[in-house]
Structure 1
Amino acid sequence: MWDFLVDRRGQIAYQAFQHVSLVVQCVLLGTLIALVLAALVYRNPVATSLANGLSAVGLTIPAFALLGILLAPFGFGIAPAVIAVTFYATLPVLRNAVVGLAGVDRSVIESARGIGMSRPATLLRIELPLAWPVILAGIRISTQMVMGIAAIAAYVLGPGLGGFIFTGLARLGGANALESALVGTIAIVVLALVLDLLLLVVGRLTTPRGIRV
């Protein structure tokens, strides 16, 4: 194992960077999409139910199946990987964003409107900050989940550490097959823990002091 790590340290580092880059960019994009959708639907009970239903149903779609469907229009490479990872990254954030925004005390919102704040200003300056801890919890769940899904994206030749896992499984029983699969798996777990720790720090720095738990 040590020899495998030393011989391929450059490749491992590069694919780890690709993996993190794919996950972070897709989670950021998914969070933006989720916040926009949540802001549009959270005041409407019917639309809120539809959004929650979409989140629940979307998470039941197997990643392999979605990637297979995306192969027809987009082919192999980065495009289907980004679309699939962004899709899964959006769902937990959307659900938490809707719950967080809907859970903001109505009296606080009415007070803000009473002093002349517009609806967009109330959303940006009052509701989103108060809902942020719940939203951030969704981002953490999303990040952990798509770390694994990004590995499956190697099925369509997407970037990241999944290449080590698929190579090892394809050559199981051959030289360095087990080492390749283990390196990819362990590296993904370590990176997931590091990203979660960073998100904890971000949450500490961005959550208003008055609502910190």
Structure 2
Amino acid sequence: MSLWEYVSGRGQTLAFLTYQHASLAFQTVLVGTVVAVVIAVLVYRLPIGAALTLTSSRVALTIPTLALLALLIVPFGLGVVPSFIMLAFFAAMPVIGNAIVGLRSVPPSLIEAARGIGLPRWRVLLTVELPVAWPVILTGIRVSTQMIVGVAAIVAYVLGPGLGSLIFNGLARLGGANSLEMAITGTVLIVAIALVFDALLVLLGRLTIPRGLK
């Protein structure tokens, strides 16, 4: 059976697995981004806290994904929950670093000008600091998204959703019927998801980043 025959004969299944994979990646990046920005807002004004958080986020990326999944199986079992927690954790790490760097790089003159017209600290954060830091934060989100779309294939190890099941099953049956087609199809669809997400984030940047900050 050719690759095209394999794909055309399993259109609905592949579409469902692609949706699962994209949905899981989107949701975990969204949750990870929110958590990362909140943490960055809490620590960026504290030199020691910011430095420790930056270092911790970089070190956390060295944790083996399979090892973390194995640890999460103990309290949460197999399936979606450990998959979601692991992916959201890794999704937050690149964004934390970029958010802290972006917020700390806001020119002090802008902050002083905002305070000079009577804006409270929370309004300075929302209307000045976060918008100025947004291009750097968005870069972190793009890096996080590309990483998570690929890493999400590993959650098939704990029976998580997505296209990883195609790759794992294909490699496990290598040499058997349709094994190569399964692995290739899963890989190509994951790459396609990554490209679509990146294009959407580029578009988001063009729509939300003022010309003066580009």
Band the TM-score falls in, shorter-chain normalisation: over 0.9
- TM-score normalised over the length of structure 1: 0.98
Q: Can you list the C-alpha shifts for 1:99-148, whole angstroms capped at 9, x where unaligned?
A: 00000001110110111001110000000000000000000000000011
How far apart, in 2, do the equivalents of 1:53 and 1:73 lie? 28
**Partner residue of 1:147?**
149
Partner in structure 2 of residue 101 of structure 1: 103
- Name the CA distance, whole Å, in 2 between partners of 1:155 and 1:54: 26
One-letter amino acid matched to 1:186? V
Q: Distance in 1 between matches of 2:69 and 2:9?
A: 32
Match of 2:25 in 1: 23
Take 2:213 and 2:97, find their aligned partners in 1: how far apart are those partners? Answer: 21
Q: Tell me the distance in 2 between the aligned counterparts of 1:81 and 1:87.
A: 10
Secondary structure class of the residue paired with 2:119: coil
Deviation for aligned residue 1:204: 0.5
Residue aligning to 1:188: 190
Distance 1:62 1:182 in 2: 24
Gaps of 5+ in 1: none
Which runs of 4 or more aligned residues in structure 1 lie more than 6 Å from their structure 2 counterparts after TM superposition? none
Please, what TM-score do these two structures have when normalized by structure 2? Answer: 0.98
- Cα deviation for residue 210 of structure 1 reads 2.1
| Mapping of residues 96-135 of structure 1, within 5 Å | 96-135=98-137
Give distance in 1, aligned partners of 2:23 and 2:192.
Answer: 15
How far apart, in 1, do the equivalents of 2:56 and 2:188 lie? 32
Aligned length: 212
Query: 2: distance between equivalents of 1:181 and 1:63?
Result: 20
CA distance in 1, matches of 2:143, 2:76: 28
Return 5+ residue gaps in structure 2 as ranges.
none
Report the counterpart of residue 53 of structure 2 in structure 1. 51
Residue of structure 2 in register with 1:173 after alignment: 175
Structure 1 partner of 2:207: 205
What displacement does 1:53 show?
Answer: 1.1
Correspondent of 1:11 among 10, 13, 27: 13
For 2:193 and 2:26, how far apart are their aligned partners in 1? 11
1:78 is matched with 80
> Could you tell me how far apart the structure 2 residues matched to 1:198 and 1:120 are?
29
Q: Deviations over 1:131-172 (max 9, x none)?
A: 000000000000000011111011111111001000101111
